[in-house]
């Protein structure tokens, strides 16, 4: 099949990395031409040679158009036999912009936003990403290095609330989990002042829970965006906390699984209602989200059989 793919693969951020994974998967089975779209100034002017080659590839006819774009930029057309959309979702208001008459399929990698799209035209897919990594390439996290590490990877601005909730949840569980377990945040786009503020907050939370003289088992590690750094984050941790709310967060889940890391599942709001019966005012520190994250952690450590969820179809087999 001849496919024309449009997506943000030239961006030097998670959207770009995610887009490159899709290109890699599609190109493994189909003839592919690619075209960039930009949603950020974080562009990569020197893409890998394989991408440059696919940009210059031409076919006389195309059987399928794959649009990896924001909902507002979807092209509704019948000029090809199949018009497939991998939507970049900003918020639930995107539903108001949809016109599904000339779209054959909406392809999603999780069910988080599935309710936005017509059920009959929506299919979940499993993202693939083939890579190699030197397992000795890890980040220096000092005294936490020999400990078993829960870890999180994500942008500061998008995930600061999640980071603070996870800190409160982790400290609240200190009497319930193995003392040899640490928590590491690998954070993009964070400055030194923000790191210092979080570290002071960590001290405050330890103190509020009565741990005034204890070893701090939480680390904040600033990173810059590159595939090498992202892989090194996952190589440095042991149990991936899949708490990132970004529409591209599945790339981290895929990398973690491919590196045989254990994964604590993402938070599902409906499922988490089971944990909302406690009144958060009984402990000033813990919010609903804190309790939810804490319960995900403690339930995970109680499991004896940590099975991974059933995988969806690969994207190159859906088209």
**pLDDT for res 272:** 44
309 pLDDT band, cuts 50/70/90, is: low
Q: Residues 85-105: pLDDT tens digits?
A: 999 887 655 677 777 789 999
Q: How far apart, in Å, are the Cα atoms of 182 and each of 159, 170, 217?
A: 19, 9, 5
- Name all domains of the chain by residue range, CATH numbers in brackets: 2-130 (3.40.50.11930), 142-302 (3.40.50.2000)
156 pLDDT band, cuts 50/70/90, is: very high
Q: Residues 244-262: pLDDT tens digits?
A: 666 566 788 888 887 889 8
**pLDDT for res 210:** 86
57 pLDDT band, cuts 50/70/90, is: very high
Q: Residues 189-218: pLDDT tens digits?
A: 999 999 999 999 999 999 888 887 667 899
**pLDDT for res 310:** 53
**pLDDT for res 276:** 38
């Amino acid at each position: 099949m001849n496919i024309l793919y449009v997506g943000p693969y030239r961006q030097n951020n998670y959207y770009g990395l995610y887009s490159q994974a899709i290109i890699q998967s599609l190109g493994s089975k189909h003839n592919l031409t690619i075209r960039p779209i930009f949603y950020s100034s974080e562009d990569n002017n020197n893409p890998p040679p394989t991408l440059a080659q696919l940009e210059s590839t031409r076919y006389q006819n195309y059987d399928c158009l794959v649009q990896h774009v924001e909902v507002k930029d979807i092209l509704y057309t019948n000029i090809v036999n199949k018009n497939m959309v991998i939507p970049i979702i900003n918020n639930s208001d995107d539903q108001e912009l949809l016109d599904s008459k000339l779209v054959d399929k909406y392809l999603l990698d999780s069910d988080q936003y599935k309710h936005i799209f017509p059920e009959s035209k929506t299919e979940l897919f499993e993202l693939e990403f083939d890579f190699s990594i030197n397992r000795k390439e890890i980040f220096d996290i000092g005294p936490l290095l020999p400990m078993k590490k829960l870890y999180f990877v994500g942008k500061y601005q998008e995930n600061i609330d999640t980071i603070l909730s996870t800190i409160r949840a982790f400290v609240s569980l200190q009497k319930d989990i193995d003392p040899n377990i640490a928590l590491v945040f690998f954070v993009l786009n964070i400055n030194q002042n923000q790191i210092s503020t979080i570290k002071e907050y960590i001290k405050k939370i330890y103190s509020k829970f009565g741990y005034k003289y204890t070893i701090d088992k939480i680390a904040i590690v600033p990173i810059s965006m590159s595939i090498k750094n992202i892989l090194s984050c996952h190589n440095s941790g042991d149990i991936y906390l899949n708490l990132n709310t970004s529409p591209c967060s599945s790339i981290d889940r895929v990398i973690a699984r491919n590196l045989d890391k254990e994964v604590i599942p993402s938070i599902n709001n409906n499922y988490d209602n089971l944990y909302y019966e406690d009144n958060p005012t009984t402990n000033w520190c813990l919010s609903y989200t804190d309790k939810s994250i804490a319960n995900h952690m403690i339930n995970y450590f109680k499991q004896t059989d940590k099975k991974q969820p059933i995988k969806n179809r690969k994207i190159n087999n859906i088209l």
